Structure 1
Amino acid sequence: MHVLVLGGGVSGLSCGIRLLEAGHTVELWARELPPYTTSDVAAAVWYPYRASPQDRVTAWAKRTFDVLSALAKHPETGILVERGVELFTEAPPDPWWAPCVPSLRAATPEELLPGFTHGYSFEAPIIEMPIYLQFLLARFRELGGRLDLREVRTLDEAWRASPVVVNCTGLGARAVVGDDSLFPIRGEVLRVAPPPVRGFIFDESETRGISYVISRSKDCILGGTAEDGNPSLEPDKAKGAAILERCRRLLPAGARFQVLEHKVGLRPGRATVRLEAERVGQHRVIHNYGHGGAGVTLSWGCAEEVAALVIAGS
């Protein structure tokens, strides 16, 4: 079957790969491809952030955790599995995503930083997006997928090329399918080097904003922000300085590094992820968007459900 995938970020590429592996002929249209997509700005570490509903997200996240962990055995993917901590100033409930993470445990006193009384410690995949997205692109092409840089404004335009369309347009779905429930969740990060620590550190107790440190092989991402409804892609110097100040609390005293880059991305916010099949006359579309801050974290689980929906409707 010929399938047209819309969107060149991690969701679109993952769907394209699973569809090709299932024996379909796949064409992918995208306004932008790596390294110019929203996915390229992601830190990224496996963590189901700002995505609902919980039951479906847990299943998608668990499957993706397993796939990313397996891919980490291959250096060319840009994935590392590292232990990190999520820190709290008071006792938290057990995380709802605990079933996804076999290594989850309470943080030891040695793992707690000054000012924090509780925490989780767990191993999770850290994904170096510039490397990983190029790996996905290469895999898509290797399997015979076709890429076309073009912007789609309506599903009718896509259906002229294929009766089956997979909609992975992220925030673009506001225009493509008129989904006004989508909204940008603006995120700013700093890329620094050399990495001042190993693994990752999360702090959501900070009243001035979320803070995280995610170390990669040669650099480190410091974050971040989560501004609902702000569509600006212009870096804000004041917010960058605030990120730096908050993250220093999570780093060893006197840690030295250089800020290499200040980046902004717009996460596709929605009350719930939209993953469902829709039929319009003789045409079909499988929607897969609205992943919030968890696009990478849900990518393979969602891609496999998309592939199953394509087969189920054939």
Structure 2
Amino acid sequence: MKRRQFFMGSALALASTASPLFLRKLADASPQQKAARLPIMPTCPTDGEAIKLINAQMSRIAGVHACTRPFRHAGPRIEAELLGSKLVVHNYGHGGSGWSLSWGSSMQALRMAQAATPGLRTLGVIGCGPLGLTSALLAQHAGLSVRIYAKALPPNVSSMGATGLWSPDSRFCDLQHEADWAARWNEMARTSFDKYQQTAGLPGRLVEWFNGYKLSDTPFPVKDLYGSPPQTKDEDEPEYARFANDFLPPQIDLLPGGHPFPTRYARCCTSLMFNITPYASKLVADFLAAGGKVDIRAFNHPNELLTLPECTFINATGYGAKALFNDETVIPVRGQTVRLMPQPEVIHGLRAEQFLVMPRRDGLIVQNMDETGNFNNSNDAPDLVEAKAILEQAATFIARIG
């Protein structure tokens, strides 16, 4: 079978085998919503086309970011707590799902704050990562006056080091708590996914669909494109919950010999990604344009909130909540990404051997997917040796693509 015929057949197969949830959501949408929600269908190079090669030279590194993902066995803390005369609604501990679930999780936190404080008019938000920003914006949409308290603003927050991949079930909770969260997780994921579909249609490509490949010399053990949950784990790391992440179109297995990669097996998929640098900047700009205020300060003890003018707060401090609220259930999971200078011609993601490449517009992201040694590791210092090693692996593999 010629390549062109094979890939055209794959596109038709995708249209006929889309997930029931994806098709149902699309069928219920208006024509305008359908156009915004319809992803770029998985495609692979046809005759005469070539994968644009990634320039993974060390000289192209624009930054190496290490951060601590806040994992809790029981799942994120989204609950209210009285602190003297103040009410604090916690919204942290999402593991690797913070960006993906931010709108839905923040909606639940805001509902708690409003239910516990009838007539709520002002709100303080602690933290300026994805959960803090979305909490603040949703509160503004509800008519509240909002002030963000944070020790730093994007791009100087740890969550800016995330890959930007739609990963709503990444280290959300352990397997034992899966049933407890199923309904709430689904609401969070659905709310966030719908919001990202609206954002995907905005200028600037803050959020966008992309196609990617997973490559292997052995059959794929799971259907996931980018290996979530992690395929390598530490001995004390738990089994993670797996939810019905059916928001994306199905994946397509490419026939051996019917693709341009130096591996026997290849899988083509579509997913969402966040171009985090401009996206976070837009969230901050929208918050300020709507009259939001920002107070740059660091907190060392919860009682410091008692001196603030607001009576109700949403605490979205991420891993910082471990120290600030003495939450010993928060376990740090170290992660590191290498950001390269932008390469606009690179539009496909790539997952092979131990590396992942995300084709973000604000700079290509390269990540080492071997997660051993990262669970319960609070070291957030960039590791340049690791960065060089994973770039060399990516460059060597990419040089074999012909």
- Per the TM superposition, whether the score is higher than 0.5 is yes
1:202 has 2:351 as partner = yes
CA RMSD in angstroms, aligned pairs only: 2.7
- Which of residues 51, 54, 60 in structure 1 aligns to 2:172? 51
Counterpart pick for 1:107 among 243, 253, 260: 253
Q: Per-residue CA shift, 1:216-235, capped at 9, x if unaligned?
A: 22631111254123333332
Give the Cα–Cα distance (whole angstroms) in 1 for the partners of residues 244 and 266 of structure 2: 16
The one-letter code matched in structure 1 to 2:251 is: R
Amino acid at match of 2:192: T
Share of identical aligned residues, percent?
Answer: 25
Matched to 2:254, the amino acid is T
> 1:89-100 alignment to 2 at 5 Å?
89-94=218-223, 96=242, 99-100=245-246
Alignment of structure 1 residues 13-92 onto 2, 5 Å: 13-48=133-168, 49-52=170-173, 54=178, 55=182, 56-76=184-204, 78-87=206-215, 89-92=218-221
Instruction: Identify the match of residue 215 of structure 1 among 352, 356, 359.
Output: 359
**2:320 alignment partner in structure 1:** 172
Preserved CA contact (<8 Å) 2:126 2:149: yes
State which structure, 1 or 2, has the greater radius of gyration over its C-alpha atoms.
2
Residue 15 of structure 1 and its aligned partner are, at CA, apart by: 0.8
Task: Write the distance in 2 (CA, Å) between the matches of 1:64 and 1:126.
Answer: 13
Distance between the aligned counterparts of 1:46 and 1:27, measured in 2? 28
Q: Secondary structure at the match of 2:154?
A: coil
Give the C-alpha shift of residue 118 in structure 1.
5.9
Residues in 1 aligned to 2:318 and 2:342: alpha-carbon distance in whole angstroms: 32
Q: Which has the higher strand share?
A: 1
Q: Which moved more, 1:7-16 or 1:153-162?
A: 153-162
Q: Which consecutive residues of structure 2, in runs of 5 or more, have no partner in the other structure?
A: 1-120, 225-241
Q: How many aligned residue pairs are there?
A: 249
Return the TM-score normalized by structure 1: 0.70
User: Aligned equivalents of 2:205 and 2:141: distance in 1?
Assistant: 18
Q: In the TM superposition, what is the alpha-carbon distance from 1:249 to its structure 2 partner? A: 6.0
In 2, distance between residues paired with 1:57 and 1:113?
37
Which residue identity lines up with residue 319 of structure 2 in the other structure? L
Residue 87 of structure 1, CA deviation: 4.5
Greater alpha carbon shift after TM alignment, 144-153 vs 6-15: 144-153
Q: Which moved more, 1:70-79 or 1:48-57?
A: 48-57
Name the aligned partner's letter for residue 231 of structure 1: S
| Other-structure match for 1:153 | 300
Distance 1:61 1:202 in 2: 24
Matching residue's letter, 1:51: F
Using the TM superposition, name which of 53-62 and 76-85 deviates more.
53-62
Q: Normalising by structure 2, report the TM-score.
A: 0.56
Pairwise CA distance, 1:252:
5.2
Q: Does structure 2 conserve the Cα–Cα contact (< 8 Å) formed by 1:4 and 1:158?
A: no
Q: Is the 1:30–1:150 Cα contact (8 Å) retained in structure 2?
A: yes
Q: Structure 2 vs 1, CA of residues 2 and 194 (structure 1 numbering), >3 Å: closer, same or farther?
A: closer
Equivalent residue in structure 1 for 2:283, among 110, 114, 136: 136
Cα distance between partner residues in 1 of 2:259 and 2:142: 44
24-33 vs 157-166, which deviates more? 157-166
Q: Is the 8 A contact 2:145 2:292 kept in 1?
A: yes
Contact 1:188 1:223 in 2 (8 A): yes
Q: Tell me the SS of whatever aligns to 1:45.
A: coil
Is 1:236 aligned to 2:383, yes or no? yes
| 1:249–1:65 CA distance, 2 compared to 1 (3 A) | farther
Contact in 1 for aligned 2:277/2:362 (Cα 8 Å): no
What is the CA-CA distance between 1:112 and the residue it aligns to? 8.3
Change (3 A) 1:211 1:159: farther
The verdict on how the C-alpha distance between 1:13 and 1:21 changes in structure 2, with shifts beyond 3 A counting, is same
Consecutive unaligned residues in structure 1, runs of 5 or more: 256-314
SS in 1 for 2:204: helix
Do the aligned partners of 1:86 and 1:202 also contact (CA within 8 Å) in 2?
yes
Alignment-mate amino acid for residue 247 of structure 2: V
CA distance in 1, matches of 2:385, 2:165: 25
Residue 222 and residue 91 in structure 1: after superposition, are their counterparts in 2 closer, same or farther (change >3 A)? closer
Please give the alpha-carbon distance, in whole angstroms, between the structure 2 residues aligned to 1:6 and 1:200: 34
Letter of the 1:200 counterpart: G
The aligned amino acid for 2:219 is E
Q: Distance in 1 between matches of 2:260 and 2:252?
A: 10
**Aligned equivalent of 1:266:** none
Letter in 2 for 1:242: A
Task: Give yes or no for contact 1:21–1:143 (8 Å, CA) kept in 2.
Answer: no
